[in-house]
Amino acid sequence: MPVKTPFLLEEATEMEVSPVLQWAAFGIFAFISIAGALGMATTMSMFRSGIFLMASFIGVAGLFILLLADLLALLQIMMYIGGMLVMILFMLLFSGDPGGGMMSTHMRLRGPEWFFSLGLARSPSGTDGNNANDSSDKEEDQRDQARDSHQEEGEKEESNDMSMFTPAKRGAAGLALGIGVLLIALLLWRPHWAVVAQMPDPDSPRRIGHLLMDKYMIAFEGAGLLILLGIFGAVLLQRPGKYPDSAHREELRAAVEDAPAPVKTDPLKPLGLDRDREK
Amino acid sequence: MTSVLATVAALLAGVGLTAWLEPKWLGANGERGPASPVKIAADVRLTQPDPWLYYAGPVIACMGVSWAMVCIPFSPSLVGNDVNIGLFYFIVVVDFVVLGIALGGWGANTPDSVESCYRAIAQLIAYVIPLGLAIIGPIMMARSLSTVHIVEAQANAQLWYLIPQPIGFILYVISGLMQVYRAPFLEPFADPIGRGVLSVFGGWKGLLWRLALSGVLFVVAAMGAVIFLGGYSGPFLPGPVWMVIKTVGLMVLMIWLGRQVRLLSVAEMLSLSWKVLIPVGLLNVLLVGGLILLGAGQDPFSPGGGH
Amino acid sequence: MIAIPLTAFLLVAAVLFAIGLYAVIAQRTAVMVLMGIELLLNATGLNLVAFWRFTAPQDYSGQIFVIIIVTIGAIEMAIGLAIMMLLYRRHQTVQVDKYKELKG
């Protein structure tokens, strides 16, 4: 039986790949992962921040493929696409200015903060970065209906200090820079490791599976138990009635559960039609 | 290089077929969802799009579909690349379509498209786990993740996996419909929110959406044909013909079945998924395991046994 | 044979780690802090895989370790979000520097 070529033609056909190509792939993936991480830490828009973190994870997954850990790379992408999208959804629900339009207009940004916030929506009304088109009445209606609870909840407690960063930001930047420089210096100071020249088995998923079900069975089952406990814990924390909800929330719930008034004209007609008429 | 070109050509052919076939008839509700028309001739003018995410959306969705196409076999040799963890790879890269819809919906920055982004993410939570549970059955019987091996295993055993795993097949059809946003699960593209992202993209971006949304239906149907209907194996006719026949058959079946029922909202979808589909999926895994213990499924051929 | 030295991967991981540290300390929203923690875990994972590939490619324990780390990361995210929702209901904010007391 011929040895199957493992995942992704280039990296895996042993010996075949030229060093130039390897370095190019490494450069691209390393750039994606570092730029993504930097964007996550500095952009003003929460949505973009989540997307940048996802890009960073995907870049690291590319590095995993380069290291012939293809199963891990796919696992990483799968976990984090779903996970980060859900996380972004939560962020949008909780924050008053998820699009970052307000912060990017009212604050003076420099360096990466400026770069990664480029082109964020500058809404003239300044309520949120998530504003729609012009302010025709129809659009207004539509906006009210489609606007989600996050804005209503967020607006209520809009504080005047709206930065995304704690006051310790400057110190944190210094600390992170210091630790980064220290780590890099240590790595460059002693760049010799006991490297072996072996190739890993191209059929790594099978090996991992056997290892998981054999030697590391306890860890595997433990992780399963931990996930179960995590589900229980999350559900338990979220059970309703533990803390009184705000009156505002009650209002919203009543509004949601009310029978809708009969509709005469549908304000939510497709946007495209409106736009046609404008022209 | 030839395999790249062949993959793209197959994808384009599949998309053309899907886009021609799908609007042929409408269901009871009359909504077309992702199949509804997009402005391709003219671009849509928006006041405040997010310039990065707006363009990234359709491009990423298209990339996901074309990557998914890579591991679908039309004959033992006619496959982009027989990835040895093919099915897992497929599940992962198809998720990029959701990512694209979320990015494009948020980036367009109109109320309708943002709503579409939220709904698409909620739908992701609904379909991902049942889909995985439906796919586990064939993997267990074929003892391989490679798509070619799964087809060969079915051909060798003279048994489509549809026969021993009808529950898994139904599960795949339902969660596949959720994944491709066709009726009754077309909430992110519903008419009341202006067909979601489709109404705020035009020009080449609209074309890319058409490609991605038709393509995702095609690849999901093709993957269903591979894992449950024996893929390219069949008597008399050559492999690619069988594959196309089965794919189109499954696609028509999925669309037709979906249009027989009323539309479901995302909330109903989530409760259907978590209260019905996931328990049934776990039951299916248990049943398939029992069948394998009883001797069904794999035998001497066992693609993995050779190692 | 892989042309890229081990140190190159470790350098990328070091940079990711530093950025993650910055995010954890400087970000004000609880979700962003969680995201910084994810980045730290990810840098660790990259280190583990790089060491696995270069020093012990026949022993897959390194990859198992990363799988466990990804699992823990997912659980951490779920529990963190649940706690955050609870705190939001209680304090009406998710900004971590507004939580002045631990007692509910």
Per-residue pLDDT tens listing for chain A (279 residues): 344 444 444 444 444 678 888 899 999 999 999 999 999 888 888 888 889 999 999 999 999 999 888 889 999 898 888 888 888 887 787 776 666 666 666 666 777 777 777 777 654 433 444 433 333 334 444 444 444 433 444 443 444 455 677 777 788 888 889 999 999 999 888 878 888 878 887 777 888 888 888 889 998 899 889 989 988 888 887 776 655 556 666 777 777 777 666 655 555 555 544 444 444
Length reported for chain B: 307
Question: What is residue A57's predicted lDDT score, i.e. its pLDDT?
Answer: 93
Question: What is residue A275's predicted lDDT score, i.e. its pLDDT?
Answer: 46
Q: Residue B256 and residue B207: Cα distance in Å, rounded?
A: 25
Phi, psi angles (nearest 5°) of residue C60: -85, 15
C76 in any annotated domain: yes
CB-CB neighbors (< 8 A) of C22 in chain A: 41, 172-173, 175-176
CB-CB neighbors (< 8 A) of A203 in chain B: 84, 307
C18 in any annotated domain: no
C9 in any annotated domain: no
**What is the per-residue burial (b if ≥16 Cβ within 10 Å, else e) of A33-56?**
bbbbbbbbbbbbbbbbbbbbbbbb
Cα-trace Rg, chain A: 25
C17 in any annotated domain: no
Domain of residue C42 covers 29-93
Question: Using omega within 30 degrees of 0 as the cis cutoff, is the peptide bond preceding B184 cis?
Answer: yes
C13 in any annotated domain: no
C72 in any annotated domain: yes
Confirm or reject contact between C21 and chain A (CB < 8 A).
yes
The stretch C46-72 carries a mean pLDDT of: 88
Q: Specify the CATH number for the domain of residue C39.
A: 1.10.287.3510
Q: Nearest CA to B31 among B215, B188, B236?
A: B188
Question: A272: nearest CA in chain B?
Answer: B199
CA distances from B177 to A81, B106, B131, B256 (A): 20, 23, 10, 11
Q: Residue B15 and residue B21: Cα distance in Å, rounded?
A: 10
Which band of pLDDT confidence, cut at 50, 70 and 90, is reported for residue C103? low
| B203 and B42 Cβ atoms separated by less than 8 Å | yes
User: Residue B141 gets which letter from DSSP?
Assistant: H
C100 in any annotated domain: no
Which chains have 3 or more CB–CB distances shorter than 8 Å to chain B? A
Q: Is the Cβ pair A166, C1 closer than 8 Å?
A: no
CB-CB neighbors (< 8 A) of B122 in chain A: 89
Question: What is residue A156's predicted lDDT score, i.e. its pLDDT?
Answer: 39
What is the sign of the dihedral through the CA atoms of B241, B244, B250 and B256? negative
Q: Mark whether C and B touch (3+ CB pairs within 8 Å).
A: no
Q: Is the Cβ pair C21, A179 closer than 8 Å?
A: yes
Question: What is residue A159's predicted lDDT score, i.e. its pLDDT?
Answer: 43
User: Residue B24 gets which letter from DSSP?
Assistant: G
Q: Residue A1 and residue B97: Cα distance in Å, rounded?
A: 36
What lies within 8 Å, CB to CB, of B181 at 6+ separation is B33, B34, B120, B123, B187, B188, B189, B213, B216
Structure tokens, C27: 């970000």
Which band of pLDDT confidence, cut at 50, 70 and 90, is reported for residue C43? very high
Q: Nearest CA to C93 among A262, A153, A240?
A: A153
| A26 and A72 Cβ atoms separated by less than 8 Å | no
Q: Nearest CA to C89 among A94, A156, A88, A235?
A: A94
> How many beta carbons lie within 10 A of that of residue A138, not counting itself?
13
What digits encode the pLDDT tens for the residues B89-105? 999 999 999 999 999 88
C54 in any annotated domain: yes
Contacts 24+ apart (CB under 8 A), A111-114: A111/A42, A112/A38, A112/A39, A112/A42, A113/A42, A113/A43, A113/A44
CB-CB neighbors (< 8 A) of B199 in chain A: 270-272
If one counts the domains in chain C, the total is 1
Q: What spatial distance separates the first Cα and last Cα of chain C, rounded to whole Å?
A: 57
Predicted TM-score (pTM) of the model is 0.82
